[in-house]
Amino acid sequence: MTQRAVLPRVLVSAPATGQGKTTVATGLMAALRAQGTTVSGHKVGPDYIDPGYHGLATGRPGRNLDPHLVGEERVVPLLLHGAAGADLAVVEGVMGLFDGRLGTDGFASTAHVARLTRTPVVVVVDVERASRTVGALVAGLAGYEADLDVAGVILNRARRGRNLLEIERATRVPVLGALPARPDLETPSRHLGLVPAAERPRSVEMVRRLAEVVAGHVDLDAVRELAGTAPALEAGPWDPVVELGGEPSPTGASPVVAVAGGRAFTFRYAETDELLAAAGCEVVAFDPLTATGLPAGTSALYLGGGFPEVYAAALSANRALARDVRTAVGSGLPVVAECAGLLYLARTLDGLPMAGAIPAAAAMTDRLTLRYPVASATVDSLVTRAGDQVTGHEFHRTATDPVHGARAAWTIDGKPTGFASESLHASYLHVHWAGHPALARRFADAARAYARGHAHSSPRVAG
Protein backbone atom coordinates (compact mmCIF):
# COMPACT_ATOMS: atom_id res chain seq x y z
CA MET A 1 0.00 0.00 0.00
CA THR A 2 1.41 3.37 -1.02
CA GLN A 3 1.95 5.82 1.83
CA ARG A 4 1.55 9.58 1.57
CA ALA A 5 4.22 11.57 3.41
CA VAL A 6 4.20 15.32 4.04
CA LEU A 7 7.71 16.68 4.57
CA PRO A 8 8.55 20.38 4.20
CA ARG A 9 11.93 20.55 2.47
CA VAL A 10 14.37 22.66 0.47
CA LEU A 11 17.45 21.75 -1.53
CA VAL A 12 20.49 24.06 -1.48
CA SER A 13 22.46 24.04 -4.73
CA ALA A 14 24.83 26.27 -6.71
CA PRO A 15 26.14 26.88 -10.24
CA ALA A 16 29.46 25.22 -9.32
CA THR A 17 31.65 24.03 -6.50
CA GLY A 18 33.07 26.77 -4.29
CA GLN A 19 30.01 29.02 -4.17
CA GLY A 20 29.30 28.39 -0.49
CA LYS A 21 26.75 25.53 -0.52
CA THR A 22 28.08 23.86 2.62
CA THR A 23 28.32 27.15 4.51
CA VAL A 24 24.76 28.14 3.62
CA ALA A 25 23.19 24.69 4.01
CA THR A 26 24.87 24.05 7.37
CA GLY A 27 24.06 27.56 8.55
CA LEU A 28 20.42 27.18 7.52
CA MET A 29 20.13 23.89 9.41
CA ALA A 30 21.69 25.37 12.55
CA ALA A 31 19.73 28.64 12.37
CA LEU A 32 16.40 26.87 11.94
CA ARG A 33 17.23 24.50 14.77
CA ALA A 34 18.13 27.44 17.03
CA GLN A 35 14.61 28.77 16.46
CA GLY A 36 13.08 25.51 17.67
CA THR A 37 12.63 23.71 14.34
CA THR A 38 13.60 20.04 14.24
CA VAL A 39 15.75 19.84 11.11
CA SER A 40 16.99 16.84 9.17
CA GLY A 41 20.18 17.26 7.12
CA HIS A 42 20.91 15.43 3.87
CA LYS A 43 23.67 15.49 1.25
CA VAL A 44 23.41 14.68 -2.44
CA GLY A 45 26.22 12.38 -3.52
CA PRO A 46 28.66 10.05 -1.76
CA ASP A 47 30.46 12.66 0.35
CA TYR A 48 31.01 11.81 4.03
CA ILE A 49 32.41 15.15 5.21
CA ASP A 50 29.48 17.53 4.72
CA PRO A 51 27.06 15.23 6.61
CA GLY A 52 29.40 15.51 9.59
CA TYR A 53 28.78 19.27 9.69
CA HIS A 54 25.07 18.66 9.11
CA GLY A 55 25.05 16.40 12.15
CA LEU A 56 26.54 19.14 14.30
CA ALA A 57 24.01 21.64 12.97
CA THR A 58 20.92 19.48 13.44
CA GLY A 59 21.80 17.18 16.34
CA ARG A 60 20.83 14.23 14.11
CA PRO A 61 22.89 11.95 11.85
CA GLY A 62 23.69 13.50 8.47
CA ARG A 63 22.36 11.38 5.59
CA ASN A 64 23.29 10.88 1.93
CA LEU A 65 20.99 10.75 -1.09
CA ASP A 66 22.75 9.21 -4.08
CA PRO A 67 20.91 7.47 -6.95
CA HIS A 68 24.15 5.90 -8.18
CA LEU A 69 24.96 4.31 -4.83
CA VAL A 70 21.49 3.21 -3.72
CA GLY A 71 19.29 3.25 -6.83
CA GLU A 72 16.66 5.80 -7.80
CA GLU A 73 13.91 3.83 -6.06
CA ARG A 74 15.53 4.22 -2.62
CA VAL A 75 16.20 7.97 -2.69
CA VAL A 76 12.77 9.10 -1.44
CA PRO A 77 12.48 6.27 1.16
CA LEU A 78 15.93 7.15 2.52
CA LEU A 79 14.98 10.83 2.68
CA LEU A 80 11.85 9.97 4.66
CA HIS A 81 13.75 7.57 6.91
CA GLY A 82 16.40 10.16 7.73
CA ALA A 83 13.79 12.87 8.27
CA ALA A 84 11.58 10.81 10.58
CA GLY A 85 10.33 13.10 13.36
CA ALA A 86 11.72 16.24 11.73
CA ASP A 87 9.73 19.40 10.99
CA LEU A 88 11.78 20.25 7.90
CA ALA A 89 14.55 18.76 5.77
CA VAL A 90 17.44 20.68 4.25
CA VAL A 91 19.27 18.89 1.44
CA GLU A 92 22.70 20.10 0.32
CA GLY A 93 23.57 19.51 -3.32
CA VAL A 94 26.80 18.38 -4.89
CA MET A 95 29.01 20.31 -7.37
CA GLY A 96 26.95 22.39 -9.81
CA LEU A 97 23.19 21.92 -10.04
CA PHE A 98 23.28 19.75 -13.17
CA ASP A 99 26.65 18.02 -12.65
CA GLY A 100 26.30 14.24 -12.31
CA ARG A 101 28.04 11.04 -13.27
CA LEU A 102 30.01 11.77 -16.42
CA GLY A 103 28.48 10.53 -19.67
CA THR A 104 25.00 10.04 -18.18
CA ASP A 105 23.28 13.40 -18.87
CA GLY A 106 23.24 14.32 -15.21
CA PHE A 107 22.44 11.04 -13.49
CA ALA A 108 22.97 11.40 -9.70
CA SER A 109 23.22 15.19 -10.02
CA THR A 110 21.59 17.59 -7.60
CA ALA A 111 18.91 18.29 -10.21
CA HIS A 112 18.24 14.56 -10.53
CA VAL A 113 17.72 14.23 -6.77
CA ALA A 114 15.57 17.37 -6.71
CA ARG A 115 13.31 15.84 -9.36
CA LEU A 116 13.15 12.45 -7.62
CA THR A 117 12.23 14.08 -4.31
CA ARG A 118 10.14 16.92 -5.82
CA THR A 119 12.06 19.43 -3.73
CA PRO A 120 12.21 23.19 -4.39
CA VAL A 121 15.75 24.39 -5.06
CA VAL A 122 17.52 27.38 -3.50
CA VAL A 123 20.58 28.42 -5.48
CA VAL A 124 23.64 29.87 -3.70
CA VAL A 125 25.65 32.28 -5.87
CA ASP A 126 28.99 33.85 -4.97
CA VAL A 127 28.51 37.46 -6.11
CA GLU A 128 31.79 38.96 -4.87
CA ARG A 129 32.93 39.68 -8.45
CA ALA A 130 29.62 39.93 -10.27
CA SER A 131 26.68 42.24 -10.69
CA ARG A 132 23.70 42.14 -13.05
CA THR A 133 24.98 38.98 -14.76
CA VAL A 134 23.91 37.08 -11.65
CA GLY A 135 20.33 37.54 -12.85
CA ALA A 136 21.14 35.91 -16.18
CA LEU A 137 22.97 33.06 -14.47
CA VAL A 138 20.04 32.30 -12.17
CA ALA A 139 17.55 32.61 -15.04
CA GLY A 140 19.59 30.08 -17.01
CA LEU A 141 19.62 27.62 -14.12
CA ALA A 142 15.90 28.06 -13.55
CA GLY A 143 15.01 27.52 -17.20
CA TYR A 144 17.43 24.75 -18.15
CA GLU A 145 15.09 21.88 -17.21
CA ALA A 146 11.36 22.46 -17.25
CA ASP A 147 10.50 20.01 -14.47
CA LEU A 148 12.87 21.58 -11.92
CA ASP A 149 11.63 24.14 -9.38
CA VAL A 150 14.38 26.73 -8.82
CA ALA A 151 12.44 28.80 -6.31
CA GLY A 152 14.92 30.95 -4.42
CA VAL A 153 18.39 32.49 -4.38
CA ILE A 154 20.82 33.20 -1.55
CA LEU A 155 23.65 35.55 -2.47
CA ASN A 156 27.05 34.83 -0.90
CA ARG A 157 29.97 37.22 -0.34
CA ALA A 158 27.61 40.09 -1.01
CA ARG A 159 28.49 43.72 -0.30
CA ARG A 160 25.73 46.07 0.83
CA GLY A 161 25.05 49.03 -1.42
CA ARG A 162 24.25 49.81 -5.03
CA ASN A 163 25.80 46.61 -6.41
CA LEU A 164 23.61 44.41 -4.24
CA LEU A 165 20.52 46.38 -5.26
CA GLU A 166 21.50 45.93 -8.91
CA ILE A 167 21.77 42.14 -8.43
CA GLU A 168 18.42 41.96 -6.64
CA ARG A 169 16.71 43.96 -9.42
CA ALA A 170 18.20 41.66 -12.07
CA THR A 171 17.28 38.39 -10.36
CA ARG A 172 13.78 37.25 -11.25
CA VAL A 173 13.79 34.40 -8.70
CA PRO A 174 13.11 35.58 -5.13
CA VAL A 175 16.27 36.54 -3.22
CA LEU A 176 15.98 34.98 0.24
CA GLY A 177 19.13 36.49 1.69
CA ALA A 178 22.56 38.00 1.12
CA LEU A 179 25.49 36.82 3.24
CA PRO A 180 28.59 38.98 3.72
CA ALA A 181 32.06 37.60 3.14
CA ARG A 182 33.25 35.91 6.35
CA PRO A 183 36.68 34.28 5.87
CA ASP A 184 36.67 33.23 9.54
CA LEU A 185 33.76 30.90 8.85
CA GLU A 186 35.18 29.20 5.77
CA THR A 187 35.84 25.50 6.26
CA PRO A 188 39.53 24.58 5.81
CA SER A 189 40.54 22.13 3.09
CA ARG A 190 43.38 19.70 2.43
CA HIS A 191 44.32 17.03 -0.12
CA LEU A 192 40.83 15.43 -0.35
CA GLY A 193 38.64 18.44 0.31
CA LEU A 194 37.15 19.84 3.50
CA VAL A 195 38.51 18.87 6.91
CA PRO A 196 35.93 16.64 8.66
CA ALA A 197 34.00 18.19 11.52
CA ALA A 198 35.21 15.50 13.93
CA GLU A 199 38.82 16.59 13.34
CA ARG A 200 38.23 20.28 14.05
CA PRO A 201 38.34 21.13 17.76
CA ARG A 202 36.19 24.26 17.29
CA SER A 203 33.64 22.81 14.86
CA VAL A 204 30.72 23.20 17.26
CA GLU A 205 31.54 26.87 17.81
CA MET A 206 31.95 27.46 14.08
CA VAL A 207 28.52 25.97 13.37
CA ARG A 208 27.00 28.16 16.12
CA ARG A 209 28.46 31.28 14.53
CA LEU A 210 27.27 30.15 11.10
CA ALA A 211 23.77 29.94 12.52
CA GLU A 212 24.03 33.51 13.80
CA VAL A 213 25.25 34.86 10.45
CA VAL A 214 22.57 33.05 8.45
CA ALA A 215 19.83 34.08 10.88
CA GLY A 216 20.95 37.70 10.53
CA HIS A 217 21.08 37.76 6.72
CA VAL A 218 18.57 35.19 5.43
CA ASP A 219 14.78 35.37 5.68
CA LEU A 220 14.19 32.13 7.59
CA ASP A 221 10.42 32.58 7.50
CA ALA A 222 10.61 32.71 3.71
CA VAL A 223 12.72 29.53 3.70
CA ARG A 224 10.11 27.78 5.86
CA GLU A 225 7.34 29.01 3.59
CA LEU A 226 9.19 27.73 0.52
CA ALA A 227 9.84 24.37 2.20
CA GLY A 228 6.13 24.10 2.90
CA THR A 229 5.33 24.26 -0.82
CA ALA A 230 7.04 20.91 -1.44
CA PRO A 231 4.37 18.39 -2.49
CA ALA A 232 3.55 15.25 -0.51
CA LEU A 233 5.63 12.18 -1.36
CA GLU A 234 3.90 8.95 -2.31
CA ALA A 235 6.26 6.57 -0.54
CA GLY A 236 7.11 5.07 2.82
CA PRO A 237 10.37 5.41 4.74
CA TRP A 238 13.28 3.05 4.16
CA ASP A 239 13.24 0.12 6.57
CA PRO A 240 16.46 -1.86 7.18
CA VAL A 241 14.53 -4.93 8.32
CA VAL A 242 12.55 -4.98 5.08
CA GLU A 243 15.74 -4.45 3.06
CA LEU A 244 17.30 -7.48 4.73
CA GLY A 245 14.41 -9.68 3.66
CA GLY A 246 11.85 -8.87 6.29
CA GLU A 247 12.98 -11.69 8.55
CA PRO A 248 13.19 -11.10 12.31
CA SER A 249 16.66 -10.83 13.81
CA PRO A 250 18.00 -14.17 15.05
CA THR A 251 17.44 -14.80 18.73
CA GLY A 252 20.24 -15.20 21.24
CA ALA A 253 23.27 -13.10 22.00
CA SER A 254 24.03 -10.36 19.49
CA PRO A 255 27.47 -10.67 17.87
CA VAL A 256 29.64 -7.62 18.47
CA VAL A 257 30.68 -5.76 15.31
CA ALA A 258 33.55 -3.40 16.09
CA VAL A 259 33.52 -0.28 13.90
CA ALA A 260 36.47 2.09 13.66
CA GLY A 261 35.79 5.69 14.60
CA GLY A 262 37.64 8.68 16.01
CA ARG A 263 39.50 11.32 14.02
CA ALA A 264 41.21 8.88 11.63
CA PHE A 265 38.06 6.96 10.63
CA THR A 266 35.20 9.42 10.17
CA PHE A 267 33.65 7.95 7.01
CA ARG A 268 30.70 5.60 7.50
CA TYR A 269 27.10 5.88 6.35
CA ALA A 270 24.57 5.88 9.20
CA GLU A 271 22.56 3.19 7.43
CA THR A 272 25.49 0.77 7.72
CA ASP A 273 25.08 0.62 11.50
CA GLU A 274 21.29 0.46 11.15
CA LEU A 275 21.46 -2.50 8.77
CA LEU A 276 23.82 -4.38 11.07
CA ALA A 277 21.61 -3.67 14.08
CA ALA A 278 18.55 -4.83 12.11
CA ALA A 279 20.45 -8.04 11.32
CA GLY A 280 20.87 -8.67 15.04
CA CYS A 281 24.38 -7.32 15.62
CA GLU A 282 25.62 -5.07 18.40
CA VAL A 283 27.60 -2.23 16.82
CA VAL A 284 30.42 -0.99 19.06
CA ALA A 285 32.61 1.94 18.01
CA PHE A 286 36.29 2.20 18.98
CA ASP A 287 39.09 4.64 18.21
CA PRO A 288 42.17 3.04 16.59
CA LEU A 289 44.25 6.02 17.73
CA THR A 290 43.73 5.21 21.41
CA ALA A 291 42.26 1.70 21.87
CA THR A 292 44.84 -0.92 22.89
CA GLY A 293 42.64 -3.78 21.72
CA LEU A 294 39.42 -4.56 19.91
CA PRO A 295 36.19 -4.19 21.91
CA ALA A 296 35.28 -7.05 24.23
CA GLY A 297 33.70 -9.98 22.42
CA THR A 298 34.43 -8.66 18.92
CA SER A 299 33.05 -11.07 16.33
CA ALA A 300 33.54 -8.89 13.23
CA LEU A 301 35.44 -5.74 12.32
CA TYR A 302 34.38 -2.89 10.05
CA LEU A 303 37.12 -0.42 9.09
CA GLY A 304 35.54 2.37 7.07
CA GLY A 305 37.00 5.41 5.39
CA GLY A 306 38.83 8.44 6.72
CA PHE A 307 42.29 9.93 6.79
CA PRO A 308 44.80 7.42 8.19
CA GLU A 309 47.53 9.11 6.13
CA VAL A 310 47.08 12.22 8.30
CA TYR A 311 47.35 10.17 11.50
CA ALA A 312 49.77 7.53 10.26
CA ALA A 313 52.37 8.18 12.97
CA ALA A 314 49.85 7.85 15.80
CA LEU A 315 48.24 4.76 14.27
CA SER A 316 51.66 3.19 13.79
CA ALA A 317 52.67 3.97 17.37
CA ASN A 318 49.66 2.04 18.72
CA ARG A 319 51.36 -1.33 18.33
CA ALA A 320 49.08 -3.07 20.83
CA LEU A 321 46.00 -2.56 18.64
CA ALA A 322 47.94 -3.32 15.45
CA ARG A 323 49.01 -6.68 16.89
CA ASP A 324 45.48 -7.46 18.06
CA VAL A 325 44.04 -6.68 14.62
CA ARG A 326 46.71 -8.72 12.83
CA THR A 327 46.07 -11.69 15.14
CA ALA A 328 42.31 -11.36 14.73
CA VAL A 329 42.53 -11.27 10.92
CA GLY A 330 44.78 -14.32 11.04
CA SER A 331 42.25 -16.17 13.18
CA GLY A 332 39.53 -15.66 10.57
CA LEU A 333 37.71 -12.73 12.17
CA PRO A 334 35.28 -11.35 9.54
CA VAL A 335 36.72 -8.02 8.39
CA VAL A 336 35.45 -5.44 5.90
CA ALA A 337 37.85 -2.59 5.13
CA GLU A 338 37.14 0.33 2.80
CA CYS A 339 39.87 2.75 1.70
CA ALA A 340 41.25 3.96 5.05
CA GLY A 341 40.63 0.49 6.44
CA LEU A 342 42.64 -1.02 3.61
CA LEU A 343 45.55 1.30 4.40
CA TYR A 344 45.43 0.41 8.10
CA LEU A 345 45.53 -3.31 7.34
CA ALA A 346 48.56 -2.91 5.06
CA ARG A 347 52.13 -3.67 6.15
CA THR A 348 53.15 -0.04 5.94
CA LEU A 349 51.71 3.38 5.15
CA ASP A 350 54.24 5.91 3.90
CA GLY A 351 56.94 3.68 5.38
CA LEU A 352 55.37 3.48 8.85
CA PRO A 353 54.32 0.04 10.17
CA MET A 354 50.58 -0.58 10.20
CA ALA A 355 48.64 -3.72 11.20
CA GLY A 356 50.41 -5.92 8.65
CA ALA A 357 47.32 -8.04 8.01
CA ILE A 358 47.47 -7.59 4.22
CA PRO A 359 50.62 -8.28 2.15
CA ALA A 360 50.84 -4.79 0.66
CA ALA A 361 52.54 -1.44 1.21
CA ALA A 362 50.58 1.80 0.91
CA ALA A 363 51.82 5.30 0.16
CA MET A 364 50.65 8.78 -0.82
CA THR A 365 50.90 9.60 -4.53
CA ASP A 366 50.56 12.68 -6.73
CA ARG A 367 47.58 11.16 -8.51
CA LEU A 368 44.00 11.68 -7.37
CA THR A 369 41.76 8.68 -7.98
CA LEU A 370 38.17 9.83 -8.28
CA ARG A 371 35.63 7.56 -9.89
CA TYR A 372 32.02 6.49 -9.59
CA PRO A 373 32.16 2.96 -10.97
CA VAL A 374 30.20 -0.25 -11.24
CA ALA A 375 32.32 -3.01 -9.72
CA SER A 376 32.07 -6.77 -10.21
CA ALA A 377 33.00 -9.36 -7.61
CA THR A 378 35.69 -11.67 -8.94
CA VAL A 379 35.26 -14.48 -6.41
CA ASP A 380 33.08 -15.70 -3.58
CA SER A 381 34.23 -13.85 -0.48
CA LEU A 382 33.10 -12.69 2.95
CA VAL A 383 30.41 -10.35 1.57
CA THR A 384 30.23 -11.06 -2.17
CA ARG A 385 29.49 -13.89 -4.55
CA ALA A 386 31.34 -14.19 -7.84
CA GLY A 387 29.59 -12.07 -10.46
CA ASP A 388 27.86 -9.74 -8.00
CA GLN A 389 27.77 -6.15 -9.23
CA VAL A 390 27.71 -3.10 -6.98
CA THR A 391 27.82 0.64 -7.48
CA GLY A 392 30.40 2.57 -5.48
CA HIS A 393 32.86 5.43 -5.41
CA GLU A 394 36.58 5.95 -4.91
CA PHE A 395 38.32 9.11 -3.75
CA HIS A 396 41.95 8.85 -2.63
CA ARG A 397 45.53 9.94 -3.27
CA THR A 398 47.18 6.75 -2.06
CA ALA A 399 48.04 3.48 -3.76
CA THR A 400 48.95 -0.01 -2.62
CA ASP A 401 51.68 -2.27 -3.93
CA PRO A 402 50.49 -4.76 -5.03
CA VAL A 403 47.16 -3.40 -6.19
CA HIS A 404 45.39 -6.67 -5.48
CA GLY A 405 45.90 -10.02 -3.84
CA ALA A 406 45.73 -13.54 -5.23
CA ARG A 407 41.96 -13.18 -4.92
CA ALA A 408 40.93 -9.66 -5.89
CA ALA A 409 37.96 -8.02 -4.18
CA TRP A 410 36.60 -6.40 -7.36
CA THR A 411 37.11 -5.89 -11.04
CA ILE A 412 36.69 -2.20 -11.92
CA ASP A 413 37.08 -0.91 -15.47
CA GLY A 414 38.40 -4.35 -16.42
CA LYS A 415 41.16 -4.37 -13.80
CA PRO A 416 41.36 -6.40 -10.57
CA THR A 417 41.69 -4.47 -7.32
CA GLY A 418 41.61 -5.15 -3.60
CA PHE A 419 42.00 -8.22 -1.40
CA ALA A 420 39.38 -10.87 -0.64
CA SER A 421 38.99 -14.19 1.16
CA GLU A 422 36.29 -16.09 2.99
CA SER A 423 36.82 -13.86 6.04
CA LEU A 424 38.23 -10.62 4.55
CA HIS A 425 37.12 -7.99 2.05
CA ALA A 426 39.39 -4.96 1.65
CA SER A 427 39.54 -2.42 -1.18
CA TYR A 428 39.44 1.28 -2.00
CA LEU A 429 35.81 1.08 -3.09
CA HIS A 430 33.18 2.68 -0.85
CA VAL A 431 29.81 0.92 -1.09
CA HIS A 432 26.60 2.25 0.45
CA TRP A 433 25.10 -0.89 1.97
CA ALA A 434 21.59 0.57 1.84
CA GLY A 435 21.86 0.07 -1.91
CA HIS A 436 23.33 -3.43 -1.54
CA PRO A 437 21.86 -4.91 1.66
CA ALA A 438 23.02 -8.43 0.82
CA LEU A 439 26.54 -7.33 1.84
CA ALA A 440 25.29 -6.36 5.29
CA ARG A 441 23.38 -9.62 5.66
CA ARG A 442 26.40 -11.74 4.75
CA PHE A 443 28.66 -9.76 7.06
CA ALA A 444 26.21 -10.16 9.95
CA ASP A 445 25.86 -13.89 9.25
CA ALA A 446 29.65 -14.26 9.29
CA ALA A 447 29.85 -12.38 12.60
CA ARG A 448 27.24 -14.69 14.11
CA ALA A 449 29.06 -17.78 12.87
CA TYR A 450 32.37 -16.49 14.24
CA ALA A 451 30.77 -15.75 17.60
CA ARG A 452 29.41 -19.29 17.80
CA GLY A 453 32.77 -20.80 16.90
CA HIS A 454 34.65 -18.71 19.46
CA ALA A 455 32.08 -18.72 22.26
CA HIS A 456 34.55 -20.11 24.81
CA SER A 457 37.66 -18.14 23.78
CA SER A 458 38.98 -15.24 25.85
CA PRO A 459 37.27 -11.96 24.94
CA ARG A 460 39.27 -9.06 23.57
CA VAL A 461 39.17 -6.00 25.76
CA ALA A 462 39.73 -2.51 24.40
CA GLY A 463 41.94 -0.14 26.34
pLDDT in tens, 375-403: 999 999 999 999 999 999 998 899 999 99
* Amino acid 1: pLDDT: 54
Q: Is the pLDDT of residue 202 over 80?
A: no
Fold match between domain 4-234 and domain 240-453? yes
Which pLDDT value is given to residue 462?
44
Could you read off the pLDDT of 156-172 as tens digits, one per residue? 999 888 999 999 999 99
pLDDT band at 195 (very low <50, low <70, confident <90, very high): low
pLDDT average, residue stretch 236-248: 90
Sign of CA dihedral 381, 384, 385, 387: negative
**Cα(316)–Cα(365) distance, integer angstroms:** 19
pLDDT attached to residue 248: 66
Residue 461: predicted pLDDT: 46
SS (H, E, C) 165-218: HHHHHHCCCCEEEECCCCHHHCCCEECCEECCHHHCCCHHHHHHHHHHHHHHHE
Per-residue pLDDT averaged across 41-70, rounded? Answer: 95
Q: Which CATH class is domain 240-453?
A: alpha beta
Residue that wins the pLDDT comparison between 181 and 172: 172
pLDDT in tens, 109-160: 999 999 999 999 999 999 999 999 999 999 999 999 989 999 999 999 998 8
Q: Read off the pLDDT of residues 324-369 as tens digits, 9 standing for 90 and up.
A: 999 999 999 999 999 999 999 999 999 999 999 999 999 999 888 8
Task: Work out the pLDDT band at 189, boundaries 50, 70, 90.
Answer: very low
* Position 26 pLDDT exceeds 90: yes
The total of other beta-carbon atoms located within 10 Å of residue 104's CB is: 12
Q: Which CATH architecture has domain 4-234?
A: 3-Layer(aba) Sandwich (3.40)
Q: Report the mean per-residue pLDDT for the chain.
A: 92
pLDDT of residue 184: 67
339 part of the active site: yes
Nearest to 157 by CA among 183, 139, 175: 183
Domain boundaries, the chain: 4-234, 240-453
327 vs 199, residue with greater confidence: 327
Indicate which residue of 339, 424, 426, 434 is catalytic: 339
